[in-house]
């Protein structure tokens, strides 16, 4: 199996930051009450993670061990601030909704975790792919949770899409269950925890049903999930 | 390499990255500054126009402001900014934010529009933390409840009717939520009282320089 497909599989599934590593839970739980919010934060995180992985990998030979962490923090903070300013300028309404969770991307452990564990030890191309795939994995987990909660809580999908995609998206809202007053719990904070737990359970159940590939019997007992 | 030299190199590198990061952020800030200010003004203008349609006044609303302060009637200890609307030289309305401090979970911030005759042009919720699905029916996206205030004044309905139905007044409460509408009704009435008490001053004082 090539390194590339390993990286892709790791980010999206085996080591998904949201569902397996459980990193960045705070934004994952707080902003996943609708598809559009989830997508907005997911894209911002994806952007920061890819950019910071590229930068960290590019400077990995220059930066000495003693100052590695402060430099990573600097790089990540600079990228997050850039993304924050850009969103404030071009996606103003969404920016006001996501509010504090944009600057808080800095504290998403998934980002410094990837910088430290992967980007600082691998060439730029691989680091970029890893950042993108991890970001995508996080965004997809966020999106799944957002869709689940919006569907149960409001009976719609993609409400307020125009905040993210502009006026063309005003008609994108899909009312799945018309005249539905909403299952309140799904939108409230407990809904986030329950929803995430259900997603993780579903992922684990699905994996258990898959026949173990005979070629790698040794890895079966050493699933990273167990840690 | 001596330890001193190593430390100097590390410090130098760290400083270099700090400068690069600083330049990146400062550059983006310069590029986006005007656009952010314009976006904020556009968002504010859109909110104000919800309460008073743009065709009812001719001045630049955002540039004609007065500072208002009345901890009791406005619901906040902080001074707030009121926006004056004019049609030529005629005062049309005053738009100002008030706080309903007794919501179900914390402050409800409202924007009130009152025309020169003391009649409400509209009320909108700026922000709140009421329970989603229950108290948030005060938002226009969740219901039309908040729109009923347009056209009302201190005498219309009479003082005894300026309450939610449960308290003997004319305003509906929502299923499962009485506290939220009660707080809003009370804050709107107080805003009208404030306007009546200060009306003569409000349109004669010079605008606050921005």
Spell out the domain ranges in chain B. Answer: 1-51, 54-202
Mean pLDDT of B83-104: 91
The answer to whether the Cβ–Cβ distance between B13 and A75 falls below 8 Å is no
The answer to whether the Cβ–Cβ distance between B25 and A78 falls below 8 Å is yes
Residue A217's pLDDT band (boundaries 50, 70, 90)?
A: very low
Check if the beta carbon of residue B128 is closer than 8 Å to that of residue B184. Answer: no
Q: What percent of chain B is predicted at pLDDT more than 70?
A: 99
The answer to whether the Cβ–Cβ distance between B43 and A86 falls below 8 Å is no
Mean pLDDT of B175-198: 91
Distance CA B153, CA B156 (A): 5
pLDDT in tens, A32-55: 888 888 988 898 999 999 999 999
pLDDT in tens, A49-72: 999 999 999 988 888 888 888 999
B95: three-class secondary structure by DSSP: strand
Which of B13, B29, B35 lies at the smallest CB-CB distance from A62? Answer: B13
What mean pLDDT value characterizes chain A? 84
Residue A163 φ/ψ, nearest 5 degrees: -65, -30
The 8-class DSSP code of residue B187 comes to: H
Residue B175 φ/ψ, nearest 5 degrees: -60, 120
Sort out which chain B residues have CB atoms less than 8 A from A79's CB and list them: 24
Mean pLDDT of A202-207: 90
ipTM of the complex: 0.72
User: Which of A36, A65, A74 should we substitute to test contact with B (largest number of B Cβ atoms within 10 Å)?
Assistant: A74
Distance CA A226, CA B194 (A): 63
Check if the beta carbon of residue B64 is closer than 8 Å to that of residue B84. Answer: yes
Closest chain B CA to residue A92:
B39
Which of B32, B43, B132 lies at the smallest CB-CB distance from A85? Answer: B32
Q: What is the pLDDT of residue A220?
A: 42
pLDDT in tens, B113-159: 999 999 999 999 998 888 877 788 888 877 889 999 999 999 888 88
Which tokens in the block code for residue B171?
A: 């305003």
A63: three-class secondary structure by DSSP: coil
For chain A, the structural domain boundaries read 3-211
Of A143, A163, A139, A141, the closest CA to residue A151 belongs to A143
Mean pLDDT of B204-210: 74
Distance CA A70, CA A64 (A): 11
Q: What is the pLDDT of residue A195?
A: 92
The answer to whether the Cβ–Cβ distance between B10 and A89 falls below 8 Å is no
Residue B61 confidence (pLDDT) above 80: yes
pLDDT in tens, B34-60: 999 999 899 899 989 999 998 889 998
> Distance of alpha carbon B180 from its chain centroid, rounded?
17
Which tokens in the block code for residue B125?
A: 């919720």
Check if the beta carbon of residue A50 is closer than 8 Å to that of residue A80. Answer: no
The answer to whether the Cβ–Cβ distance between A184 and B9 falls below 8 Å is no
Using the Cβ of A207 and the Cβ atoms of chain B, whether some distance falls under 8 Å is answered with no
Q: What is the pLDDT of residue A158?
A: 81
Distances (CA, A) of A220 to A9, A20, A157, A216: 16, 16, 38, 7
Residue B210's pLDDT band (boundaries 50, 70, 90)?
A: low
The 8-class DSSP code of residue B66 comes to: E
pLDDT higher at A175 or B163: B163
Q: What is the pLDDT of residue A215?
A: 52
Using the Cβ of A100 and the Cβ atoms of chain B, whether some distance falls under 8 Å is answered with no
Distance CA A67, CA B49 (A): 52
The answer to whether the Cβ–Cβ distance between B132 and A184 falls below 8 Å is yes
Q: Which residues pair with B123 in a beta bridge?
A: B112
pLDDT in tens, B161-179: 899 988 888 898 887 788 9
Which tokens in the block code for residue A106?
A: 């800095």
B116: three-class secondary structure by DSSP: coil
> Distance of alpha carbon B112 from its chain centroid, rounded?
8
- With a CB-CB cutoff of 8 Å, which residues 73-92 of chain A face chain B? 74-75, 77-79, 81-82, 85-86, 88-90, 92
The answer to whether the Cβ–Cβ distance between A71 and B17 falls below 8 Å is yes
The answer to whether the Cβ–Cβ distance between A88 and B13 falls below 8 Å is no
Q: What is the pLDDT of residue A219?
A: 44
- Supply angle C-alpha B153, B189, B187, rounded to 5: 145
Distance CA A167, CA B59 (A): 28
pLDDT in tens, A125-167: 999 999 999 999 999 999 999 999 988 888 888 887 777 777 7
Distance CA A112, CA A82 (A): 17
Q: What is the pLDDT of residue B113?
A: 94
Alpha-carbon dihedral of residues A65, A70, A72, A76, nearest 10 degrees?
180
Q: What percent of chain A is predicted at pLDDT more than 70?
A: 92
> Distance of alpha carbon A182 from its chain centroid, rounded?
26
Strands (E), A156-216: 156-157, 174-175
* pTM of the shown model: 0.76
The answer to whether the Cβ–Cβ distance between B32 and A88 falls below 8 Å is yes
Distance CA A66, CA A31 (A): 35
Closest chain A CA to residue B143:
A181
Distance CA A185, CA A182 (A): 9
Distance from CA of A152 to the nearest CA of B (A): 12
A9: three-class secondary structure by DSSP: helix
């Amino acid at each position: 199996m090539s390194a590339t497909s390993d990286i892709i599989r790791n980010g999206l599934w085996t080591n998904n930051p949201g569902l397996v590593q459980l990193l960045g839970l705070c934004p994952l739980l707080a902003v996943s009450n609708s598809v559009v919010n989830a997508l907005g934060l997911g894209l911002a995180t994806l952007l920061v993670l890819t950019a910071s992985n590229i930068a960290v990998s590019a400077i990995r030979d220059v930066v000495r061990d003693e100052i590695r962490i402060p430099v990573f923090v600097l790089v990540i903070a600079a990228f997050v601030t850039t993304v924050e300013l850009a969103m404030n300028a071009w996606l103003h309404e969404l920016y006001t909704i996501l509010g504090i969770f944009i600057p808080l991307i800095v504290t998403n452990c998934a980002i410094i975790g990837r910088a430290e564990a992967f980007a600082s030890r691998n060439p730029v191309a691989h680091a970029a792919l890893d950042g993108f795939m991890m970001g995508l994995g996080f965004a997809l987990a966020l999106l799944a949770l957002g869709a689940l909660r919006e569907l149960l809580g409001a009976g719609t999908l993609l409400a307020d899409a125009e905040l993210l995609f502009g006026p063309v998206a005003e008609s994108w809202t899909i009312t799945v269950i018309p005249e539905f007053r909403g299952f309140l719990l799904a939108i409230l904070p407990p809904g986030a925890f329950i929803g995430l737990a259900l997603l993780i359970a579903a992922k684990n159940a699905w994996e258990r049903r898959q026949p173990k590939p005979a070629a790698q019997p040794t890895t079966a007992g050493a699933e990273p999930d167990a840690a | 390499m001596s330890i001193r030299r190593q430390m100097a190199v590390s410090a130098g590198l760290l400083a270099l990255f700090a400068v690069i990061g600083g330049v990146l952020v400062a550059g983006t800030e310069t590029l986006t500054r005007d656009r952010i200010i314009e976006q904020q003004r556009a968002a504010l203008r859109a909110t104000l126009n919800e309460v008073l349609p743009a065709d009812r006044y001719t001045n630049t609303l955002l540039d004609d402001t007065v500072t208002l302060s009345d901890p009791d009637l406005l619901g906040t200890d902080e001074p707030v900014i009121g926006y004056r609307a004019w049609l030529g030289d005629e005062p049309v309305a005053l738009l100002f934010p008030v706080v309903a401090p007794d919501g179900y979970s914390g402050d409800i911030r409202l924007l009130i529009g009152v025309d020169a005759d003391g009649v409400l042009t509209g009320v909108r919720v700026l922000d709140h933390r009421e329970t989603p699905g229950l108290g948030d029916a005060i938002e226009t996206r969740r219901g039309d409840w908040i729109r009923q205030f347009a056209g009302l004044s201190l005498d219309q309905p009479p003082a005894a009717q300026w309450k939610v139905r449960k308290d003997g007044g004319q305003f509906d409460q929502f299923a499962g939520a009485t506290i939220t509408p009660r707080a809003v009704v009370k804050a709107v009435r107080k805003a009208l009282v404030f306007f009546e008490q200060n009306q003569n001053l409000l349109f004669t004082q010079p605008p606050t320089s921005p």
